[in-house]
Chain A
Amino acid sequence: MSFDEWFRQDRLPHIYCAGCGNGTIINCTLAAVDQMGWKKEDTVFVSGIGCSSRAPGYILTDSLHTTHGRAIPFATGVKMANPDLHVVVFTGDGDLAAIGGNHFIHACRRNIDLTVICMNNQIYGMTGGQGSPTTPKGCLSSTTPYGCAEIPFDLCELATAAGANYVSRWTSYHVKELEKAVKVGLETPGFSFIEALVQCPTAFGRRNKFRQVADHVEYLKVHSLLKAKRDRMLEAGEAIPEDMFVVGELTKRSRPAMGVKP
């Protein structure tokens, strides 16, 4: 894949902090898009507000950088009005799961033909590190200074329960797996949701004992539990450690979908 082709060179340098995981997810996504053989003029990236949502601004296609939490209904309008366009949404945990939560579950229910990629850094990065609906219990943020007391969302279980055709979770460590998952998402008619856990050294890592970026990536790697292994553990009656999260292809089905190219 040629980066020159998909990036707006005149927008560089980007705003992401040193060590940010978002670039990895954007690269994986563009690699998958490139493998699809899509043309730039037929591809639209849509986003809401937050660090992740700045991604479409660096990509040389038509793109909508919209209001906080609303990327999916904007994308719904684009896709329903012109199903010939390939529509990909970049979002983050605050954008998708907090202010945009209702739009998220309804898009899953409609099973509209979008691919939504959530860069989940478990914090509000752009506003300086406030707790989000995916901040793990006990973690520190500027609005959870005594440790997050709330239970986080499992976004993949939410998407599956709400009706999405394809759901998968990986991390910024799993670049090959993530790239493949995005590609399967792009190929799958209906709603595809890919959650990518990412490190955020500036807002999350420094408050939560990840002194180095690599420490956080290592944490994501070590605490990833492959779905196949999880299934074996469940079968054997073993307890799943609370600090582990399941990665892999979690849902793949072919329910009737909306907005599919005729």
Chain B
Amino acid sequence: MTRVEFWQGNIACAEGALAAGCNFFGGYPITPSTEVAEQMAVKLPKRGGVFIQMEDEIASMASIIGASWTGARAMTATSGPGFSLMMENIGYAAMTETPCVVVNVQRGGPSTGQPTMAAQGDMLQCRFGSHGDYAVIALCPASVQEMFELTAKAFNLADQYRVPVFLMADETVGHMREKILVPDSVERVARKPQRDDALPFHADADLIPGFGQFGTGHHVHVTGLTHDERGYPAATNPPLHAALVQRLVDKIENARDAMADYDVINPDAEQVFIAYGGPVRAVQQVLHDHPQKNIGFLRIRTVWPFPEKALAKFKNAKRFLVPEMNLGQIAREIERHVKVPVKSIPKLGGELHTPRELAAALEVKQ
């Protein structure tokens, strides 16, 4: 069963988290994500969960990692400047394989930039922003419905792969209001627990160790230092460090196809749009406005790891056009995987591409 609501994207995000069983939110107010925190502040205490407003985004990120180790489904929400502050502990979460969900309702940057305007300028930061090599998962919603669904999905991915998962929204999607079908319940994937006979950081064949939840007698030592399978520091052991970091990356990269979430529209087209987040809406309008033209569209929800196999579905593609609210951050990633030209259609300033702009781009041959 479902019920129909008319919600703002940020509210749908919070409700999606609650539906997924989120029971801890540590956050700090920042435009344009604040409604997520406000909704959690209203709802979580009534459900026996914890809402805490921390002193900054560094502390917010720290608090959700601490909560996660007690078994909580923990989340924070922020925007660019706060996301930058979170980078330190995002790296810690990656290194310690701590499941957690970070919502970034992107705004114009760099620096304080455009607090109330949309952007997608943090797409590479979310993948590479903390120091060292690691891998993460990033999902991009393009509707209020997806704010709900992908937030819920983010918790499952975080618990399954023991990794920080980012919901990379943008201000347009976060603040738009539209109809949403709210399900009575959502699927929940549980964390694989640490077996009594296993070491806390010994990975199984899927490269993921069982989770030794605090308070259950596993006596897990969690450190951001390079650590062995016991969790003990081993920071001067070169082969061990190489193997650990490689596993942290491989556990996500190996699951790239399993978690890939995208739509392929008109796969025989020669000109193919690729979009995620807000610009999806403009591309949809172009397809709607020009039904006589065979326009391809790859609509991506899992941006990291990038679903590169989806590109091969467009066998006749002569050109990929990539509208983004940044200077071509994901277009560059796409270029790595295809032999045909990739046309980046960047748009800065905080407004969405118009369908007319995108339709015009189809006609420009270069």
Contact = CB atoms under 8 A, between A and B. Distances in A.
Contacts of B218: 62
A70 B66 CA distance: 11
A40 B59 contact: no
Contacts of B58: 70, 73, 103
A78 B214 contact: yes
A102 B55 contact: yes
Contacts of B220: 62-63
20 contacts: A41-B215, A41-B219, A57-B232, A62-B69, A62-B215, A63-B222, A66-B65, A70-B58, A70-B89, A73-B62, A74-B62, A76-B62, A77-B64, A78-B70, A81-B72, A82-B70, A82-B214, A85-B70, A102-B56, A103-B62
Given A41-B216, A41-B219, A57-B233, 19 more contacts: A42-B215, A61-B219, A73-B55, A73-B63, A74-B65, A76-B26, A76-B52, A76-B62, A76-B63, A77-B62, A77-B64, A77-B66, A77-B67, A81-B67, A81-B70, A82-B215, A84-B215, A85-B70, A102-B59
- The A interface, classified by DSSP as helix, strand, loop or mixed, is helix
Interface string B325-352: 0000000000000000000000000000
A56 B65 CA distance: 17
Interface in A55-77: 56-57, 60-67, 70, 73-77
A106 B52 CA distance: 12
A65 B215 contact: no
Interface string B206-247: 000000101111111111110000101100000000000000
Interface string B141-168: 0000000000000000000000000000
By size class, the interface of chain A is 20 to 34
Interface string A69-100: 01001111111111011000000000000000
A74 B223 contact: no
Contacts of B24: 77, 80-81
Contact of A77 (B55, B65, B88, B221): B65
Contacts of A42: 215
Nearest to B225: A65
Interface in B21-53: 23-24, 26, 50, 52
Interface of B: 23-24, 26, 50, 52, 54-56, 58-60, 62-72, 74, 88-89, 92, 212, 214-225, 230, 232-233
B215 A73 contact: no
A66 B222 CA distance: 8
A189 to B, nearest CB: 18
Contacts of A57: 221, 223, 232-233
Contacts of B69: 62, 64, 78
A11 interface: yes
Nearest to B216: A41
B26 A77 contact: yes
A246 interface: no
